[in-house]
Amino acid sequence: MTTTTARSAGLGSPAEHAAIRTADLRKTYKSSRGDVEAVRGIDLDIPQGEFFGLLGPNGAGKSTTIGMLTTLVAPTGGQAWVAGHDVTRDTVAVKRRIGVVTQNNTLDMQLTVAENLEYRSRFFGLPKAVAARRAAQLIEAFGLGDRKNAMADQLSGGQARRLMIARALVHQPDVLFLDEPTAGLDPQTRVNLWEILRVLHEQGQTILLTTHYMEEAEALCDRIAVVDHGRILAEGTVDALLADSGAQTVVTVRFEEQVPDGLGEEPSLASHPGVSKVEADGDQLRVFASDPEGLLGDLIALGAKHGLHVRDAAQAKPSLETAFLALTGREYRE
């Protein structure tokens, strides 16, 4: 194989074995109110077959990252390769190798369920008979058998989402991108969709999912990148993320009054067994500890000694939630 052929086949690129790879990927939007640095240098290396999650609060830069990987958003810095193809130089090759499910419903409402699938197959050049067969398989696999002749606008939210995922798979893409696939779905429908995604993953499908639901990332993904303000704060399996963040329990007491200066440095707290960090933040006092035994009572007593009245108190076991808190010093809000 000549160098040119190898390059045009995507084999000469640095992403030879990776499903997705990015190097210092960036996006700054220009707007009338100034520049918005939505993505500030993201490095990813996602092998084939992995179920990878970009987890972060609203506005973290997840959609922009997925937009760049799926060629819909032009990067302003860095590079990215999907299925071995550069997303800015080989957009057509990338588009042929990916399936994309966006946040909004993009089904063709003038078509039936089966037609939505068949038309997409035809768009990818599959012969009519093959397209019909593929549609029938996907309708079956996605539990849409009794809805196959329904118009797309007659579907429930969960059915529509399933059809969008099925439609993204008609051409058997190397990588399936799902941007917040269960946003707005009720809990039962969400769990049903998880089951479908698990099966796809077991069948070897590489999936990149964005979500702001921690439990979704935890339930589905092999690895997670926690994203905030356009950067990856931490990356790894759920277990590794918890271990890296020290698997701390977080005890928080919120007072009626502001916490006075210096209370966070109180020696009796820092010397408590297993305490790694104490933070005073406005009206709250937050303690990270591997052994929270007795801590809540001590915090309340300490507040009382300084004339503070407790408004509420909480103790959070180690989780992605507490890991996020440890990484950012902020609570993770959906």
Residue 317 DSSP one-character state = -
- Whichever of 74 and 314 has its CB closer to ligand ATP, that residue is 74
Is the separation of the CB atoms in 91 and 10 below 8 Å?
no
Q: How far is the CB of 321 from ligand ATP (least distance, A)?
A: 17
Q: Is 84 helix (H, G, I), strand (E, B) or coil?
A: coil
Phi and psi at 13, nearest 5°, equal: -75, 165
Q: How far is the CB of 105 from ligand ATP (least distance, A)?
A: 15
Q: How far is the CB of 103 from ligand ATP (least distance, A)?
A: 7
- CB neighbour list of residue 193: distance below 8 Å, 6 or more residues apart: 158, 161, 162, 165, 181, 182, 185
Stretch that binds ligand ATP, among 3-11, 61-69, 145-153, 316-324 (CB under 6 A): 61-69
Phi and psi at 45, nearest 5°, equal: -145, 100
Does 38 participate in binding ligand ATP (rule CB under 6 A)?
yes
- Whichever of 31 and 203 has its CB closer to ligand ATP, that residue is 31
- Whichever of 63 and 249 has its CB closer to ligand ATP, that residue is 63
Does 31 participate in binding ligand ATP (rule CB under 6 A)?
yes
- Among 13, 19, 52, 56, contact with ligand ATP (rule: CB under 6 A): 56
Taking each helix axis from N to C terminus, what angle separates 157-168 and 113-123, rounded to the nearest 10 degrees? 20
**CA-based nearest residue to 73, from 2, 189, 179:** 179
Does 41 participate in binding ligand ATP (rule CB under 6 A)?
no
Could you give the CA distance from residue 219 to residue 198 in angstroms, rounded to a whole number? 9
Could you give the CA distance from residue 217 to residue 138 in angstroms, rounded to a whole number? 25
Q: Within 134-193, which residues bind ligand ATP (CB under 6 A)?
A: 180
Give, for 118, the enclosing helix (H) or strand (E): helix 113-123
- Whichever of 227 and 269 has its CB closer to ligand ATP, that residue is 227
Is the separation of the CB atoms in 323 and 245 below 8 Å?
yes
**DSSP per-residue codes, 91-103:** HHHHHHHEEEE-S
Could you give the CA distance from residue 166 to residue 136 in angstroms, rounded to a whole number? 11
Does 68 participate in binding ligand ATP (rule CB under 6 A)?
no
Residue 248, exposed/middle/buried by CB under 10 A (0-12, 13-18, 19+)?
Answer: buried
- Among 41, 59, 143, 236, contact with ligand ATP (rule: CB under 6 A): 59
Stretch that binds ligand ATP, among 5-13, 16-24, 59-67, 156-164 (CB under 6 A): 59-67
Stretch that binds ligand ATP, among 57-65, 85-93, 120-128, 142-150 (CB under 6 A): 57-65
Q: Within 234-263, which residues bind ligand ATP (CB under 6 A)?
A: none
Binding string, residues 200-239; x marks residues near ligand ATP by CB under 6 A: ------------x---------------------------
Q: Within 265-284, which residues bind ligand ATP (CB under 6 A)?
A: none
Does 308 participate in binding ligand ATP (rule CB under 6 A)?
no
- Among 13, 22, 64, 248, contact with ligand ATP (rule: CB under 6 A): 64
- Among 29, 128, 172, 260, contact with ligand ATP (rule: CB under 6 A): 29
Q: Is 154 helix (H, G, I), strand (E, B) or coil?
A: helix
Total residues contacting ligand ATP by CB under 6 A comes to 14
Does 61 participate in binding ligand ATP (rule CB under 6 A)?
yes
Is the separation of the CB atoms in 42 and 210 below 8 Å?
no
Does 26 participate in binding ligand ATP (rule CB under 6 A)?
no
Phi and psi at 203, nearest 5°, equal: -80, 0
**DSSP per-residue codes, 40-67:** EEEEEEEETT-EEEEE--TTSSHHHHHH
Q: How far is the CB of 29 from ligand ATP (least distance, A)?
A: 3
Site residues, ligand ATP (CB under 6 A)? 29, 31, 36, 38, 56, 58-64, 180, 212
